[in-house]
């Protein structure tokens, strides 16, 4: 038993132990390699899953943005717009409470208070053909607000001189003027001017408050203006607007006039009433409208013309205007081609009156194209009528014109300047 035990505990040879250790190392290496492979495999799967998840998330975000972006942008824009609107509202609220612009209504009130004592209501006996025809054609009669035989005027001198429209007081019977304090007076006509449609009448009254003439006759487009008169018989009515345009040449009856254009509400009965600025100064006389009632376009005779006519009527009782004594028309396209003019210009002489004609006496001929009076270009026949009409009778004018010579197949254009002494415009 003892030998066997000793035998069993005999030492293992070195070579055997070396082989055993080598097998353990190999086994360990194999297991380590397997572990690394397993880890690598798991890592690869994790990376793949991560990339797939990231791709899915990116795709979802892109899809979400694709559908949600317009809504988000709209909400952002709305928020910005709403914020801007609120800010603008707040500024406007504060400004209207503190700014001088808040006083615009007060300005209108003050203008009315300053001008109203100078504005009169005019009533004429009988129907005036001028009122019911040329200026206020086919105005329907109203039982509540009659407008026929009525108009307005403005006191321009404390001696009782009143400016109004010629068509308000011409061809009428008695003329009654009612002041703002309700006093009534019978007026007489001092004189009138057919070209500008202005008339001067006079009343014998005291304690009159005349209107102030505009200190500056330069009236830019956009200037605030107020119109006061008796639309449809409603006395002392005031309306507000702006100057829409300057130098509007419009045909009123058989004459061409140079107007201020405004959008102040002017209706039948406003004729002859004042157009004033924000200082209550006269800048024009309301004269005409487009159509039978207010449509946003009104015309007024400019103050510089009104004052000139007033002074001449006071001095002479009439306006002795220059007269060329010719019949005119605007040249046609064919006639312009003959004169080698690419754009419309000038006024063409078509004839002369049977009586004396200053133009004919000084060498003007039918067919002449008048292009300039002194240094003022003639754009059309309306401009020529105004240029000559604003000259005094007996004054001299240098008329620049073109005349066709030669035959119709080969016309030549000759340019001439002719000195003409203007005659006096025939009486009404």
Kindly list the catalytic residues. 167, 197, 271
As a whole number of angstroms, the distance between CA 98 and CA 123 comes to: 45
Burial of 390 (0-12, 13-18, 19+ CB in 10 A): middle
Beta partners for residue 261, in sequence order: 245, 299
As a whole number of angstroms, the distance between CA 141 and CA 148 comes to: 8
Supply 341's token pair.
Answer: 């003019």
Alpha-carbon distances, residue 339 vs 181, 336, 408 (angstroms): 61, 5, 12
Beta partners for residue 403, in sequence order: 414
Q: Are 200 and 169 in contact (CB under 8 A)?
A: no
Q: Whose CA is closest to 214, among 329, 149, 302?
A: 302
SS3 246: strand
Q: How far, in whole angstroms, is CA 181 from its chain's centroid?
A: 36
């Amino acid at each position: 038993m003892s030998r066997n035990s000793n035998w069993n505990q005999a030492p293992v040879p070195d070579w055997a132990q070396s082989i055993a250790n080598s097998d353990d190392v190999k086994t360990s290496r194999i297991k380590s390699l397997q572990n690394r492979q397993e880890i690598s495999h798991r890592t690869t799967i994790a990376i793949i899953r991560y990339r797939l998840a990231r791709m899915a998330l990116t795709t979802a975000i892109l899809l979400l943005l694709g559908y949600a972006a317009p809504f988000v942008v709209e909400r952002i824009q709305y928020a910005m717009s709403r914020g801007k609107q609120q800010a603008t509202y707040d500024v406007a609220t504060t400004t209207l409470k503190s700014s001088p612009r808040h006083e615009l209504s007060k300005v209108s009130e003050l203008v009315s208070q300053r001008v109203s004592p100078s504005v009169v209501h005019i009533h004429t006996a009988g129907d005036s053909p001028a009122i019911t025809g040329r200026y206020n054609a086919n105005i329907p009669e109203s039982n509540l607000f009659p407008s026929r035989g009525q108009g307005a005027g403005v006191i321009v001198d404390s001696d009782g001189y009143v400016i109004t429209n010629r068509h308000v007081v011409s061809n009428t019977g008695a003329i009654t003027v009612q002041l703002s304090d309700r006093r009534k007076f019978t007026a007489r006509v001092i004189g009138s001017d057919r070209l500008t449609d202005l008339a001067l009448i006079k009343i014998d009254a005291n304690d009159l408050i005349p209107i102030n003439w505009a200190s500056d006759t330069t009236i830019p487009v956009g200037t605030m203006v107020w119109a006061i008169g008796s639309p449809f018989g409603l006395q002392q009515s005031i309306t507000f607007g702006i100057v829409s345009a300057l130098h509007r040449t419009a045909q009123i009856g058989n004459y061409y006039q140079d107007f201020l254009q405004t959008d102040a509400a002017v209706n039948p009965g406003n004729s002859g009433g004042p157009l004033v600025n924000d200082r209550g100064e006269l800048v024009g006389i309301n004269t005409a409208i487009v159509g039978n009632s207010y449509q946003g376009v009104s015309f007024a005779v400019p103050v510089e013309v009104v004052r000139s006519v007033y002074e001449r009527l006071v001095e002479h009782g009439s306006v002795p205007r220059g007269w060329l004594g010719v019949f005119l028309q605007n040249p046609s396209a064919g006639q312009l081609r003959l004169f080698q003019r690419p754009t419309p210009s000038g006024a063409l002489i078509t004839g002369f009156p049977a009586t004396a004609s200053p133009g004919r006496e000084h060498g003007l001929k039918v067919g002449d194209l008048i292009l300039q009076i002194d240094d003022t270009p003639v754009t059309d026949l309306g401009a020529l009528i105004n240029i000559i009409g604003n000259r005094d009778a007996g004054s001299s004018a240098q008329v620049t014109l073109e005349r066709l010579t030669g035959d119709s197949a080969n016309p030549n254009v000759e340019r001439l300047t002719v000195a003409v002494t203007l005659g006096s415009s025939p009486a009404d």
